[in-house]
Amino acid sequence: MKKITCLLTSLVFAGLLLSTSALRAQASQNVIDDLIEFAVLTDGANWYTPWPIDFSQNPPVPLSDACGWDGVTCNAAKDEIIAIALDSNGISGNLPPFCSFHSNPGSITSIKLSKNNLTGPLPDMSCLSSMKIMNLDSNSLTGQLDPVLATLPLLSFLDLSHNQFVGDIPAFPNKSNVFIKLSYNDLTSIPPSWNVFRRDISYNRVKLDAFPTTCDIESPINKCRPSKPFLLTRQGNTLSAIAAADSVAYITYVWINEGTGDTTTLTGTELFTVPETGSYHAVATLGGVSLGSESITVACPPGNIAYVNGQAMGNNDGTSWADAFTDLQDALALTGICPNITQIWVAAGTYYPTTGTDRTIPFIMKNGVGIYGGFVGMEGQLSQRDWAANVTTLSGDIGTQGDDSDNSYHVIFNNNGLNSTAVLDGFTVSGGKADGVGYLEDRGSGMFNLTSSPSVTNCSFSGNSANSSGGGMLNLFSSSPSVTNCSFSGNLGYQGGGMSNESTSSPSVTNCTFSGNTAVTFGGGMFNLVSSSPTVTNCTFSGNSAAAGGGMGNQTSASPAVTNCSFNGNTAGNEGGGMFNSFSSSPTVTNCTFS
């Protein structure tokens, strides 16, 4: 008898499990009925992306699980609707009566139906107690705004802009975490104690004198419907707001990250650095009055390549040659928020670390990103470029062109733990002048690697100068880059005119030429100091000069391996025209010529 009872109990329990599983496999009938009613009221058969419903049946019949339909989010049990997101989907007609839904409308947290063709007044929304985000902008909704909107307890984002609402604005609570956008309607009055922060009611018919705070300064506007007060522009991961010239000095911008709700307040033309991809609002206020807001979406380009061409005339968003960035810094900044970007292709031309005059701003390479020069600006394959014919220059000649007194201290400065996945390939690096007074500003003018070991290939370092070490390149504190097929010419340094490797920095230098470089003291072509022992293979040192070690100077336990190299025409004021070794430096020199 006990066995029979246990068996029956097990069967009943299993049946319950099967019943529950079956219930959760498909949306509940209430959810189905509510969504079908929504589709019928809004001409669902003619949406741009319709739900899989057979509208020829009466009533219409769902053809798949309603909780899996486009833009629909349900709870785990599939008996409640959590969110509806159907922006830009050709939806027309009236909004459904959400409070008549059978599947607990109080569970809905988000409704996004912007940029459709919805008409008529807003339905009763008093039941939407969990609503957080409601975006109905850019429709043709009419009527007055229901005061109940201001009582929804969890509402944090409401956008009813670009509709045809009239009358009074409800008394929304003055909470800093609630963003209200009601611009481009026909609203005429505001509630007492209206807080302009995170409220946009521009382009309505509200008079400025209705505001509790009036302008302190002479304003070019007298209504909340001014001419567009500003434009948003994007460069890499920075956004800027450009205001009307007669008010720019007084305008304050509140940048709002729509995803996180974080805000940043800036004034004038200060740049806003984007911390992540997503949508951003900039709300402009003048004398405490909201002038309006503009939105912009920062998204990562498709694929893994960002394009740079100083002559590009398109959107300048880096997505193609036609729409390439015009500034290499914008592409580098983009890699900080777009991990999919692993290559930057740069067309022939000259690029500067800054468009201003700040000498401390360099280019900075990044791990996992290859920066490639030598393109015409139309190639589709990396192998199609020609860096010899299409010279691509990274220049420190900022400020007054041709006057090196205001040049960048470093054209490239890597102080971020780079490894070989950081690649520079196909560039000329010139015009760095490290003559600053600080320890880091008097050395490494072309490229300064500090505890960084990138890969540098097919590059030319010329016309750089440093008051201390490394006119062309300085590798310091265990920086051991791979340097291949590069030339160092006409660089000047106190030591290591072409390249200086110091403090256990041992790069691999292959197929490179060092010519016409000058050092005041040691190592006109290359200087190796304090246990720095690079591997130098198939290289040529010619016409370099220094007080000691015209071609190469090795000092303090620096013992490079030098193989298949030629040293010719190098000179020294004191000793070691070709190579000078001192203080326990014992290089290994194999199959090399000195003349």
pLDDT in tens, 254-285: 788 888 888 888 776 677 777 888 888 777 77
Q: Quick one: pLDDT at residue 438?
A: 82
Q: Are 76 and 189 found together in one domain?
A: yes
Q: Are 312 and 253 found together in one domain?
A: no
Evaluate if residue 14 carries a pLDDT over 70: no
Read off the pLDDT of each residue in 151-170 and give the average, rounded to a whole number: 92
Q: Are 202 and 59 found together in one domain?
A: yes
Residue 428 and residue 454 in contact, taking contact as beta carbons nearer than 8 Å: no
Q: Are 49 and 191 found together in one domain?
A: yes
| Position 20 confidence tier, pLDDT thresholds 50, 70, 90 | very low
Q: Are 142 and 266 found together in one domain?
A: no
Final residue before a domain boundary, out of 488, 513, 538: 513
Q: What is the mean pLDDT of the chain?
A: 87
With respect to residue 156, please indicate whether it lies within any of the assigned structural domains: yes
d(CA 513, CA 406) in angstroms, rounded, equals 29
Q: Quick one: pLDDT at residue 260?
A: 84
Q: Quick one: pLDDT at residue 246?
A: 41
Evaluate if residue 212 carries a pLDDT over 90: no
| Position 287 confidence tier, pLDDT thresholds 50, 70, 90 | low
Q: Are 267 and 388 found together in one domain?
A: no
Q: CB-based contacts of 402: which residues, under 8 Å, 6+ apart?
A: none
With respect to residue 461, please indicate whether it lies within any of the assigned structural domains: yes
Q: Are 315 and 457 found together in one domain?
A: yes
Given the structure tokens 């912009």, which residue do they identify?
Answer: 296
With respect to residue 3, please indicate whether it lies within any of the assigned structural domains: no
- The closest of 149, 153, 148, 126 to 136, measured between CA atoms, is 149
- The closest of 406, 425, 477 to 448, measured between CA atoms, is 477
Final residue before a domain boundary, out of 482, 513, 544: 513
Evaluate if residue 58 carries a pLDDT over 50: yes
d(CA 227, CA 220) in angstroms, rounded, equals 9
Evaluate if residue 323 carries a pLDDT over 80: yes
Strand (E) or helix (H) holding 575: strand 571-575
With respect to residue 102, please indicate whether it lies within any of the assigned structural domains: yes
CA separation, residue 131 to residues 108, 152, 203 (Å): 6, 7, 26
Q: CA 104, 107, 112 angle in degrees (round to 5)?
A: 115
The pLDDT tens digits of the residues spanning 213-223 come to: 332 222 222 22
Helices (H) then strands (E): counts for the chain: 3, 53
- Structure tokens belonging to residue 6: 């246990």
For β-strands 81-85 and 72-74, DSSP reports them as antiparallel
Evaluate if residue 72 carries a pLDDT over 70: yes
Q: Are 482 and 435 found together in one domain?
A: yes
| Cα 391 to the center of its chain, rounded Å | 27
Q: Quick one: pLDDT at residue 291?
A: 63
Q: Which of 17-26, 158-167, 285-294 has the highest mean pLDDT?
A: 158-167
Measured in degrees and rounded to the nearest 5, phi and psi for residue 302 equal -70, 155
Torsion from C-alpha of 544, 550, 552, 555, nearest 10 degrees: -150
d(CA 396, CA 404) in angstroms, rounded, equals 9
With respect to residue 549, please indicate whether it lies within any of the assigned structural domains: no
Q: Quick one: pLDDT at residue 197?
A: 53
With respect to residue 424, please indicate whether it lies within any of the assigned structural domains: yes
Evaluate if residue 35 carries a pLDDT over 80: yes
Evaluate if residue 236 carries a pLDDT over 80: no
Output 211 or 574, whichever has higher pLDDT: 574
Evaluate if residue 228 carries a pLDDT over 60: no
CA separation, residue 391 to residues 346, 347, 375, 376, 570 (Å): 10, 9, 8, 9, 28
Residue 403 and residue 433 in contact, taking contact as beta carbons nearer than 8 Å: no
Residue 203 and residue 224 in contact, taking contact as beta carbons nearer than 8 Å: yes
Given the structure tokens 């299993």, which residue do they identify?
Answer: 14
d(CA 27, CA 165) in angstroms, rounded, equals 35
Q: What is the Cα gyration radius of the chain?
A: 33
Given the structure tokens 């988000």, which residue do they identify?
Answer: 110
Quickly list H helices, 26-113. Answer: 29-41
Flag the least confident range among 229-233, 325-329, 399-403, 561-565: 229-233
Q: Quick one: pLDDT at residue 174?
A: 65
d(CA 302, CA 519) in angstroms, rounded, equals 47
- Structure tokens belonging to residue 513: 């030429």
Q: Hey, CA dihedral for 91, 95, 98, 100, is it positive or negative? A: negative
- Structure tokens belonging to residue 470: 């490394």
| Position 317 confidence tier, pLDDT thresholds 50, 70, 90 | confident
**Domain assignment of residue 488, given as a range:** 305-513
Q: Are 382 and 461 found together in one domain?
A: yes
Q: Residue 18 in 3-state DSSP?
A: helix
With respect to residue 540, please indicate whether it lies within any of the assigned structural domains: no
Read off the pLDDT of each residue in 447-467 and give the average, rounded to a whole number: 98
| Cα 194 to the center of its chain, rounded Å | 35
Q: The domain that contains 188 carries what CATH number?
A: 3.80.10.10
Q: Residue 332 in 3-state DSSP?
A: helix
Read off the pLDDT of each residue in 3-30 and give the average, rounded to a whole number: 48
Q: Are 292 and 387 found together in one domain?
A: no
Final residue before a domain boundary, out of 298, 332, 358: 298
For β-strands 473-476 and 447-450, DSSP reports them as parallel
pTM: 0.64
Q: Hey, CA dihedral for 181, 183, 184, 190, is it positive or negative? A: positive
Q: Quick one: pLDDT at residue 273?
A: 79
With respect to residue 463, please indicate whether it lies within any of the assigned structural domains: yes
Evaluate if residue 566 carries a pLDDT over 70: yes
Overall domain count for the chain:
3
Q: Quick one: pLDDT at residue 261?
A: 83
Evaluate if residue 370 carries a pLDDT over 60: yes
Q: The domain that contains 284 carries what CATH number?
A: 2.60.40.3080
What are the DSSP E strand ranges found in 348-491?
349-351, 370-375, 392-395, 412-414, 423-425, 428-430, 433-434, 447-450, 455-457, 460-462, 465-469, 473-476, 482-484, 487-489
Q: Are 355 and 406 found together in one domain?
A: yes
Q: Are 293 and 310 found together in one domain?
A: no
